[in-house]
């Protein structure tokens, strides 16, 4: 799922103190689990948990949360009522570690972790090089393109940035839906600053163009790369989408993902960079035959896209430490992973399985998932493993959003200023190289 929001300041000491004491997460003997889920994906989590309870006899108190998930975690910490286990995206890792609401994970003490693919562990590894969570699911970004529009216009699948822009222009100007009205747009971008969406959406484009946010400068040390010539060029190209080429849907700079999705499924936008978790919804609401899922065209920076996923967080202070581990063992087992994949049905909570013994295609029977798996393996990249990436992501989102909004803005100057803010934050987090 999209990025974890910047956690509120002012609660750090309180949260850390909460984590050191009793979580108060269960008023009875049930293991309390929170997931960041829609109603539909929560039903899949319920299947997983029902199988766990049947297998172990352990009772689960399940709390699916979607709206204001981050704030509710903070409120639970402040009230000393953290759940026992949280399953959410890897963006929680840095804030959770810095605030002391998760500890370290000993792989040897959790059966089945030897079956987890090596690549997935990076999303559970903190800036200190230690594990603070257990991988549960992975995914990679890809382009969703209106195949029927593309074929109607006789255009090829884009293989370069220029191809991508040209296709977006054609979708906007050549009436691809054939209704005789100028009511289609080239590209959909959830570019709101909320939850850091602007940086989340832009990251794959920046990396593929050879740009970057931070550069590793030794073990645990980083320097800013956000004002490098390659990043400036990449952001300038993105700015052109909004300002020069004008192929992005109206209002994109205030769109979060939930508000963005309908533009694609209702035939208003033809190109959307997003995650594979949208395929089930678009198959139902748009039609599987009307769109295609393809890799983002490789640029000067190589084939590099955002590859992230969901982790299992064993919350500190739980009174059920042994049961926490039993649940984690089931979640990463072949059985738990298969149930979470939800077969050929929509709304999987396990997108690409982390358990290397699970056959993705045997469960999904859909070549698009094979492509997503290959993109993740070959091109997936996580955000930098600084102690807390959230301040960087939020500052980046605010800068990029402003650059895209003020079409006469100085891209180089804006990124130079942002680099200064990066250096201050690196110093604050004691990881400046």
pLDDT (0 to 100) of residue 99: 87
Average pLDDT for the chain: 92
pLDDT (0 to 100) of residue 1: 52
Percent of the chain past pLDDT 70, that is, above it, reads 94
pLDDT (0 to 100) of residue 11: 38
Give pTM, 2 decimals.
0.90
In this structure, is residue 176 part of a structural domain?
Answer: no
Nearest alpha-carbon partner for 395 in 370, 429, 423, 430: 423
Q: What is the pLDDT of residues 333-384, one digit of tens each?
A: 999 999 999 998 989 999 999 999 999 999 999 999 999 999 999 999 999 9
In this structure, is residue 372 part of a structural domain?
Answer: yes
In the structure encoding, which two tokens stand for residue 19, read together?
């984590």
pLDDT band at 28 (very low <50, low <70, confident <90, very high): low
In this structure, is residue 53 part of a structural domain?
Answer: yes
Q: What is the pLDDT of residues 202-224, one digit of tens each?
A: 999 999 999 999 999 988 899 99
Q: What is the pLDDT of residues 293-346, one digit of tens each?
A: 999 999 999 889 999 999 999 999 999 999 999 999 999 999 999 999 999 898
What is the domain range of residue 51?
12-139+307-381
pLDDT (0 to 100) of residue 2: 53
In this structure, is residue 100 part of a structural domain?
Answer: yes
In the structure encoding, which two tokens stand for residue 13, read together?
């000491």
In this structure, is residue 388 part of a structural domain?
Answer: no
pLDDT at residue 44 above 70?
Answer: yes
In this structure, is residue 361 part of a structural domain?
Answer: yes
Give me the CATH number covering residue 21: 3.40.190.10
Indicate the number of domains in the chain.
Answer: 1
The DSSP code sequence of 146-170 is: EHHHHHHHT-PPP-SHHHHHHHHHH
Q: Return the residue matching tokens 């200064």.
A: 420
In this structure, is residue 229 part of a structural domain?
Answer: no
In this structure, is residue 101 part of a structural domain?
Answer: yes
pLDDT band at 15 (very low <50, low <70, confident <90, very high): very low
């Amino acid at each position: 799922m999209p990025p974890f929001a910047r956690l509120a300041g002012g609660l750090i000491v309180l949260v850390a103190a909460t984590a050191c004491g009793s979580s108060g997460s269960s008023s009875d003997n049930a293991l309390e689990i929170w997931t960041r889920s829609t109603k539909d994906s929560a039903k899949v989590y319920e299947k997983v948990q029902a199988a766990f309870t049947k297998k172990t006899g352990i009772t689960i108190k399940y709390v699916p949360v979607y709206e204001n998930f981050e704030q509710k975690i903070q409120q639970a910490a402040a009230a000393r009522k953290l759940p026992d286990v949280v399953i959410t995206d890897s963006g929680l890792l840095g804030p959770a570690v810095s605030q002391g609401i998760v500890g370290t994970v000993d792989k040897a003490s959790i059966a089945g972790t030897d079956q987890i693919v090596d690549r997935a562990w990076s999303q559970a590894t903190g800036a200190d090089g230690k594990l603070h969570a257990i991988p549960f699911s992975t995914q990679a970004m890809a382009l969703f393109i209106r195949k029927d529009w593309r074929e109607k216009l006789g255009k090829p699948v884009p293989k370069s940035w220029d191809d991508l822009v040209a296709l977006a222009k054609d979708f906007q100007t050549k009436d691809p839906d054939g209704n005789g009205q100028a009511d289609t747009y080239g590209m959909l971008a959830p570019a709101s600053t909320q939850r850091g969406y602007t940086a989340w959406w832009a990251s794959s484009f920046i990396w593929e163009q050879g740009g970057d946010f931070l550069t590793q400068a030794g073990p645990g040390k980083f320097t800013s790369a956000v004002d490098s010539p390659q990043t400036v060029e990449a952001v300038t190209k993105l700015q052109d989408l909004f300002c020069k080429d004008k192929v992005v849907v109206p209002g994109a700079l205030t769109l979060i993902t939930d508000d963005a999705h309908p533009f694609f499924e209702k035939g208003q936008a033809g190109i959307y960079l997003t995650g594979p978790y949208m395929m089930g919804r678009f198959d139902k609401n748009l039609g599987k035959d009307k769109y295609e899922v393809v890799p983002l065209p490789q640029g000067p920076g190589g084939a590099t896209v955002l590859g992230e996923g969901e982790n299992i967080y064993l919350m500190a202070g739980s009174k059920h430490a042994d049961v926490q581990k039993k649940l984690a063992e089931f979640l990463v087992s072949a059985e738990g992973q298969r149930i979470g994949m939800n077969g050929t049905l929509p709304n999987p909570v396990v997108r690409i399985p982390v358990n290397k013994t699970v056959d993705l295609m045997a469960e999904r029977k859909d070549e698009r998932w094979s492509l997503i798996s290959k993109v993740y393996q070959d091109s997936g990249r996580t955000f930098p493993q600084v102690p807390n990436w959230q301040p960087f992501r939020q500052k980046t989102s605010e800068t990029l959003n402003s650059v895209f909004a003020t079409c006469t803005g100085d891209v180089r100057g804006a990124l130079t200023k942002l680099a200064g803010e990066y250096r201050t934050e690196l110093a604050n987090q004691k990881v400046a190289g």
